[in-house]
Structure 1
Amino acid sequence: MPLTEILFGALVILLAAAVYISRRNLNYWQQRGIPCDPPHFIFGNLKDVPKKISIAEVFRNIYKRYLGTGPFCGFYFLQKPSVLALSPEFTKRVLIKDFNNFVDRGFYSNEKDDPLTGHLFFLDGQKWRNLRNKLSPTFTAGQMRFMLPTVLAVADQLVDTLDSNLQKSDIIEIKEMLARFTTDVIGSCAFGIECNSLKNPDAIFRQMGRRLLTEERHSKFVRNLINALPGVARMLHMRIIKDEYTDFFMKIVRESVDYRAKNNVQRKDFLNILIELNKNAASDNSKGLSVEEMAAQVFVFFLAGFETSSTTLSFMLYELALNLNIQQRLRAEIMDALEKHNNEVTYECVNSMPYMKQVIAETLRKYPIVPQLQRVALSEYVVPEHPKYVIDKGTLIFIPVMAMYHNPEIYPEPEKFNPERFSPEEMQARDSINWLPFGDGPRNCIGLRFGQMQMRVALIYLLRNFEISTCHLTEIPLKLARELSLTNSKNGIQLKLQRTAAN
């Protein structure tokens, strides 16, 4: 038989197998009688992402369509049958009650070929458990007290930079300014390095921060394929982080660790905590962290720490500019708290303002930076009291956080900015699982204390020194970017600042 006929026959068999597997996958939920949207042959339920719609909007639309039909509905992540949570009880089971079956996030990590992916957010299974246990002591209230002076020093620089800019124009692109502030905070608190982003917008750490969020190694489609088939991607030794980013962070961490060891340098930063962990491990004859593992944790601390806080702060200032009565009430609380603490920004002062906590919580509700949570089933799971709702081993589960936050049955008038939703009375009347800015259960965000501290300090310094309002360049209503995985404004946020009367 000619070679061409053999090749042609093999090709036909492969195509037939691909069509069969595809049709089987794309009929998965229909055959089980679980509600779902009809999928696209290739893209599943992601056909219009991100050209016409963001993935958060896709989840939101499907959530609204099938809410009340059961604990979850079907969803096709490309051709991979997945689950979209609909009920608070099911969400609670995934994150808390039956956590041991849903401990993994299912993101792609490949520490061998792509060392910076070996961080706490991406790792699964026993690797995650071991690392979480090692890192948990690094974000205690005591460690936050040690880092607070560093955050305050950068906040002083933020005020100086704004004063300097106001001499040229009272209109500030606040999103970029706050990204420079949080970059400097994270640079100091993670590496012990002065990034100087506030003084120099083109400082290397700020450049890296911008590029990490906008320049990926692969297209969105390829990245989704990698996440849908992580085992195959590992077999192919695929990497998702650009080599230049890996080289940059590995070099910074390696040089810092070597310098501190040779010169016996001690600093109140995250890297020093990781170094101390290694010393303790050596004395206990247990395994410490390699330089690659330390670099991965510092990398994710940098990336998550500067972007999530700066974006949340920019949304918050936007809402305070639109709602001057809320701004005035928050400023009054800040000034009162400072007076009670002798005009000193102490750790107790930072944590003493209940209305500030409500304003931050409402911002995180209206603009959830992580619009959905992701988990994967480790074994087959039958939803209690719903025998038809069976989740196979390896199935992805998505919890549509933004959709929940904009459900009027949970949060009436969801588009309205209303911090009273988070008064003690309102919170007591609402199931806590309906607010998940830092996740919940054993795999909640390990850095939530640091993120809260960073945002509260920024608010104290900004509102005691400046009045914030809209201007002719302020985009109302604000448009959100479709292309990014995290919630972000599409066109930046322009606001007017002027010194408060007391200053």
Structure 2
Amino acid sequence: MAFVLYLISTIVGLLSILFYFLRERMNYWKKRGIPHNEPSLFFGNMKGVSQSRHLIDPFRDLYKQFKGTTPFCGIYFFQNPSAVILDLDLIKNILVKDFNNFVDRGVFYNEKDDPISGHIFSIEGSKWRLMRSKISPTFSSGKMKFMFQTVVEVAENFTKILDEFVGSEGAVIELKDLNARFTTDVIGKCAFGLDVDSLRDPKAQFRIYGQKAFSEQRHYMIMFFLQSCPRLARKLGMKMTNDEVEEFFMGVVRNTVEYREKNNIKLNDFMGILIDLKNDPKTGLTLEEIAAETFVFYLAGFETSSSTMSNALLELAKNDEIQDRLRAEINGVLEKHGGKLTYEGLEEMHYMLQVFDETLRKYPVLPFLQRITIDDYPTDTDGDSKYIIERGTTVYIPIEPIQMDPEYYPNPERFDPERFTHEKIAERDAALYLPFGEGPRKCIGLRFGKMQIRIGLALLLRNFKFSFCDKTQYPLRFDNRQLVLQTADGIYLKVERV
């Protein structure tokens, strides 16, 4: 009996300590005098996220509530007190001027237990700097020219297959999945040197495991724990990647590297460049590092690009004048270059770039940027101590709320590529458009993503007209369980031959 009482009192004592710790943690911003919304004890400001709300919703609320009143406000990412940056100059300082104090993203990775999570998007400090210097030449304009024709060939195959679906009478097509299969085939060819052919075979392994990487992640509560407490999760040996997905991609990389080295095969694709780095004694990469970098190239390349293509086609289908103007530009440039899509010709499609930029303004795939403060960081020029972001604090830059702010983009729900003429861009603060980030940690695959999306759109619009149908859902509804802005439903459009 005495033991039972002792056990009960111990449990009660531990729970009391935990309750006190959580309550104190949830008073962090209140004690500092920083504007914030009251958190719940266990969910912070994330209550309802992944169920009735998307992760971006709490950031939207705080942005609308506190913008213009404070350089930053507080948010509780579950039990993690974090800062949401509201001042445009402060955003630029964090991303560029004072980058050395915000090098790390503070997202989960675990190279030991989850090797393909240790890629350039996640890794930190000196390891990130070294990897960035190794891989950056891979995405130079020269390397893009090498990959250009490969992407064009996949896109031409895409138009042939779509033409079969459309026929002479036109057809209602679900484009979200079809675009994802196109970008899967592109990445399979450019990153791995493999003919994936998921356009013909939706059940191709590359497509299946790419879907699993997004749709069969760990339970959403575990995912949020991994992101809110990445260092603790790493110490606990936790994983983000699905075991089957890890096994598949590690196997593909291992077999590809062994085959190429054994047969002395040299290709100018992403894998070939990484193999060269592996065999260079000055910059040697491990097999696990190659797998991690090709994995993130695959995930970022197929999902972000296919979503952006789909969203662009949806808006073009809604806006006939914009679609007709873009098609006229495409046809004019192709005629100038002998009917062929060339690298130089793609660069001449200025209105295409405006459509691309406006699509990512309205639908940024990553709705916010995330960084970790290395040292205490004062944000107020008057020296007010309460406006110091303490070391170890996660900071969030709310991309989507800024890019949908009517003060900066009047009538933000309207799709208007004229927002991105050279003159309009020059007039606008650089912090008002950040779909790829900014500064030294800006998206390394920017050039490739822009290239494959514009190639895909150019050849599709050259051959087909897109319009709304009874199954078209507009505006889009986003999947609350995804960390990125990903549509919850298919994108159905009527497609006709031009």
TM-score of the aligned structures, taking structure 2 as reference length: 0.97
Q: Establish whether residue 118 from structure 1 lines up as the match of residue 114 from structure 2.
A: no
Residues 481 and 489 of structure 1 are in contact (CA less than 8 Å); yes or no, is this contact kept in structure 2? yes
Q: 2:456 aligns with which of 428, 444, 458?
A: 458
* Mapped partners of 2:240, 2:100: distance in 1: 28
| 1:80-119 correspondence runs (5 A) | 80-119=80-119
Residue of structure 1 in register with 2:66 after alignment: 66
User: Counterpart of 2:488 in structure 1: which amino acid?
Assistant: K
Residues 176 and 306 of structure 2 are in contact (CA less than 8 Å); yes or no, is this contact kept in structure 1? yes
Residues 364 and 437 of structure 1 are in contact (CA less than 8 Å); yes or no, is this contact kept in structure 2? yes
Q: 2:297 aligns with which of 284, 294, 301?
A: 301
SS at match of 1:111: coil
* Mapped partners of 2:171, 2:494: distance in 1: 6
Residue of structure 2 in register with 1:199 after alignment: 200
Residue of structure 1 in register with 2:210 after alignment: 209
Residue of structure 2 in register with 1:488 after alignment: 486
Residues 464 and 495 of structure 2 are in contact (CA less than 8 Å); yes or no, is this contact kept in structure 1? yes
Q: Establish whether residue 339 from structure 1 lines up as the match of residue 335 from structure 2.
A: yes
> What is the root-mean-square deviation of aligned Cα atoms in Å?
1.3
SS at match of 2:154: helix
* Shift in CA distance, 432/53, structure 1 to aligned 2, threshold 3 Å: same
Residue of structure 1 in register with 2:252 after alignment: 252
Residue of structure 1 in register with 2:349 after alignment: 353
Q: CA deviation at 1:384?
A: 3.8
Q: CA deviation at 1:268?
A: 2.3
Residues 151 and 186 of structure 2 are in contact (CA less than 8 Å); yes or no, is this contact kept in structure 1? yes
Residues 378 and 388 of structure 2 are in contact (CA less than 8 Å); yes or no, is this contact kept in structure 1? yes
Q: 2:440 aligns with which of 439, 442, 447?
A: 442
Residues 71 and 90 of structure 1 are in contact (CA less than 8 Å); yes or no, is this contact kept in structure 2? yes
Q: CA deviation at 1:10?
A: 2.7
SS at match of 2:76: strand
Q: CA deviation at 1:226?
A: 2.1
* Mapped partners of 1:77, 1:332: distance in 2: 47
Residue of structure 1 in register with 2:221 after alignment: 221
Residues 134 and 283 of structure 2 are in contact (CA less than 8 Å); yes or no, is this contact kept in structure 1? no
Q: CA deviation at 1:2?
A: 4.1
Q: CA deviation at 1:169?
A: 5.8
* Mapped partners of 1:92, 1:479: distance in 2: 31
SS at match of 1:183: helix
SS at match of 2:415: coil
* Mapped partners of 2:471, 2:228: distance in 1: 41
Q: CA deviation at 1:486?
A: 1.3
User: Counterpart of 1:251 in structure 2: which amino acid?
Assistant: G
* Mapped partners of 1:320, 1:234: distance in 2: 44
User: Counterpart of 1:426 in structure 2: which amino acid?
Assistant: K
User: Counterpart of 1:263 in structure 2: which amino acid?
Assistant: N
Residues 156 and 459 of structure 2 are in contact (CA less than 8 Å); yes or no, is this contact kept in structure 1? yes
SS at match of 1:153: helix
Q: CA deviation at 1:468?
A: 1.0
Residue of structure 2 in register with 1:263 after alignment: 263
Q: Establish whether residue 375 from structure 1 lines up as the match of residue 376 from structure 2.
A: no
* Mapped partners of 1:473, 1:287: distance in 2: 52
| 1:155-166 correspondence runs (5 A) | 155-166=155-166
Q: 1:318 aligns with which of 297, 314, 320?
A: 314
Residue of structure 2 in register with 1:77 after alignment: 77
User: Counterpart of 1:269 in structure 2: which amino acid?
Assistant: D
* Mapped partners of 2:277, 2:225: distance in 1: 36
SS at match of 1:498: strand
User: Counterpart of 2:398 in structure 1: which amino acid?
Assistant: P
User: Counterpart of 2:302 in structure 1: which amino acid?
Assistant: F
User: Counterpart of 1:180 in structure 2: which amino acid?
Assistant: R
- Give deviations 1:159-207, integer Å, cap 9, x for gaps: 1110111139611101111001000000000000011101111111111
SS at match of 1:123: coil
| 1:48-59 correspondence runs (5 A) | 48-59=48-59
SS at match of 2:466: strand
Q: 1:420 aligns with which of 382, 396, 418?
A: 418
TM-score of the aligned structures, taking structure 1 as reference length: 0.96
- Give deviations 1:241-285, integer Å, cap 9, x for gaps: 111111101110011001001101112210000011123x22xxx
SS at match of 2:81: strand
User: Counterpart of 1:72 in structure 2: which amino acid?
Assistant: F
Stretches of structure 2 that go unaligned for 5 or more consecutive residues are: none
User: Counterpart of 1:413 in structure 2: which amino acid?
Assistant: N
Q: CA deviation at 1:353?
A: 1.2
Residues 71 and 89 of structure 1 are in contact (CA less than 8 Å); yes or no, is this contact kept in structure 2? no
User: Counterpart of 2:183 in structure 1: which amino acid?
Assistant: T
User: Counterpart of 1:353 in structure 2: which amino acid?
Assistant: M
Q: CA deviation at 1:480?
A: 2.1
Q: 1:403 aligns with which of 397, 401, 413?
A: 401
* Mapped partners of 1:235, 1:278: distance in 2: 28
Residues 371 and 402 of structure 1 are in contact (CA less than 8 Å); yes or no, is this contact kept in structure 2? yes
Residue of structure 1 in register with 2:19 after alignment: 19
SS at match of 2:16: helix
Q: Establish whether residue 171 from structure 1 lines up as the match of residue 167 from structure 2.
A: no
SS at match of 1:415: coil
Aligned residues: 495
* Shift in CA distance, 477/231, structure 1 to aligned 2, threshold 3 Å: closer
Residues 471 and 493 of structure 2 are in contact (CA less than 8 Å); yes or no, is this contact kept in structure 1? yes
* Mapped partners of 1:244, 1:404: distance in 2: 38
* Mapped partners of 1:36, 1:384: distance in 2: 17
- Give deviations 1:347-376, integer Å, cap 9, x for gaps: 111111111111000000001111111001
Residue of structure 2 in register with 1:330 after alignment: 326
- Give deviations 1:365-394, integer Å, cap 9, x for gaps: 001111111001111111141522111111
* Mapped partners of 1:274, 1:16: distance in 2: 53
Q: CA deviation at 1:41?
A: 0.8
SS at match of 2:73: strand
* Mapped partners of 1:174, 1:292: distance in 2: 34
* Mapped partners of 1:147, 1:95: distance in 2: 30
User: Counterpart of 1:156 in structure 2: which amino acid?
Assistant: E
Which moves more between the two structures, 246-255 or 9-18?
9-18
SS at match of 2:317: helix
Residue of structure 2 in register with 1:467 after alignment: 465
SS at match of 1:200: coil
User: Counterpart of 1:278 in structure 2: which amino acid?
Assistant: K
* Shift in CA distance, 225/319, structure 1 to aligned 2, threshold 3 Å: same
